Amino acid sequence: MEYRKHGNSGTVVTSYCLGTMTFGQETDEATSHLIMDDYIKAGGNFIDTANVYSAGVSEEIVGRWLKARPSEARQVVVATKGRFPMGAGPNDLGLSRTNLNRALNDSLRRLGVEQIDLYQMHAWDAVTPIEETLRFLDDAVSAGKIAYYGFSNYLGWQVTKAVHVARANHWTAPVTLQPQYNLLVRDIEHEIVPACQDAGMGLLPWSPLGGGWLAGKYQRDVMPSGATRLGENPNRGMESYGPRNAQERTWQIIDMVAEIAKERGVSAAQVALAWVAARPAVTAVILGARTREQLADNLGAVAVTLSTEEMERLNRVSAPAMADYPYGERGVSQRHRKMDGGR
């Protein structure tokens, strides 16, 4: 598995990260430990979790695995997150010093470690001053509780503001952003990806298979059923399947992924994952497997390097919609005319 720089830090991580959102809810502890074993045997060294995954149980499962395998634990880069409610009180959420101090200490305890390698703010907090959050994170780095920090689900202006506030105050700066990113969801390319590139931050894409759509789990105009995430949750299936099914772009992308997969003799999931891994600024793609079989198939993407022609086919069919202004060609030409004194 390829090693890449962990954002703008000096640490290196593998190009595929193991996500553990299903641990403790959809995947029991014994299977979760086997999945982590399989991932490590495949050469991976990066595991991602969060305090809200299964209400803390995911962190506990990862922590018990780390304790039982001290030699592997020394090599693994462990990431977790804080921000969302873990209690019913008014200060049990957000990015305040009060909540983050409690959340970080609880995550350290559940994981059974003295230091978390990457601590991520799970989402923006419009209530807490950014200075309060960043000062807490800088203090946590100085105290040795975290090695690095990053963000998840931030907008481009939020990333840029945080980076510049940290630099202006000579505080530790963020190293990564964890956004949703896949062939079906490319809107982060408008401003979020450029903001991260400007700051030297790496991307850790979640949902690289679009909730299973890009793995070929769903069919046009056929409501999900059986052992799929939407099929096992009829209410969610009704809400989520219809809008995406109605978009012709969805099926054009899925068909192109399937076409390239057939030409190569690999799975559709491997093609979709290889595309994300090859995108600019991507440090590691997060694999969210519920079973060992899913992980084995996903890890097959390690051996898939798409050609320039294949990337162009996928880029073309999945190109995100561009409004005329300010992103489209017409918007660009309008700006140029304005700068030249025209109208």
- Res. 217 pLDDT band, cuts 50 70 90: confident
**CA atoms of 122 and 50, how far apart (whole Å):** 8
Instruction: Give the pLDDT confidence score for residue 232 in this predicted structure.
Output: 58
**CA atoms of 297 and 286, how far apart (whole Å):** 14
Q: Which of 39, 53, 154, 241 is catalytic?
A: 53
Query: pLDDT digit string (tens) for 227-267?
Result: 665 555 655 555 667 787 888 999 999 999 999 999 999 99
- Res. 338 pLDDT band, cuts 50 70 90: very low
Query: pLDDT digit string (tens) for 264-285?
Result: 999 999 999 999 999 999 999 9
Average pLDDT of span 163-177: 98
Instruction: Give the pLDDT confidence score for residue 339 in this predicted structure.
Output: 42
At residue 248, the 3 state secondary structure works out as helix
**CA atoms of 147 and 102, how far apart (whole Å):** 18
**CA atoms of 203 and 218, how far apart (whole Å):** 27
* Percent of residues, the chain, with pLDDT higher than 70: 91
Average pLDDT of span 126-131: 98
Four-residue CA torsion sign, 135, 136, 139, 140: negative
Other C-beta atoms closer than 10 Å to the C-beta of 40 total: 17
Catalytic-residue membership of 53: yes
Q: What is the pTM of this model?
A: 0.91
Query: pLDDT digit string (tens) for 57-92?
Result: 999 999 999 999 999 999 999 999 999 999 999 999
**CA atoms of 116 and 194, how far apart (whole Å):** 27
**CA atoms of 203 and 262, how far apart (whole Å):** 29
Classify burial at 130, counting beta carbons within 10 Å of its beta carbon; exposed 0-12, middle 13-18, buried 19 or more.
Answer: middle
335 has pLDDT over 60: no
Give one DSSP letter per residue of 159-227, joined into a string. Answer: HHHHHHHHHHTTPPPP-EEE-B-BTTB-GGGTTHHHHHHHHTPEE--B-TTTTTGGGT--BTTB---SS
**CA atoms of 121 and 10, how far apart (whole Å):** 21
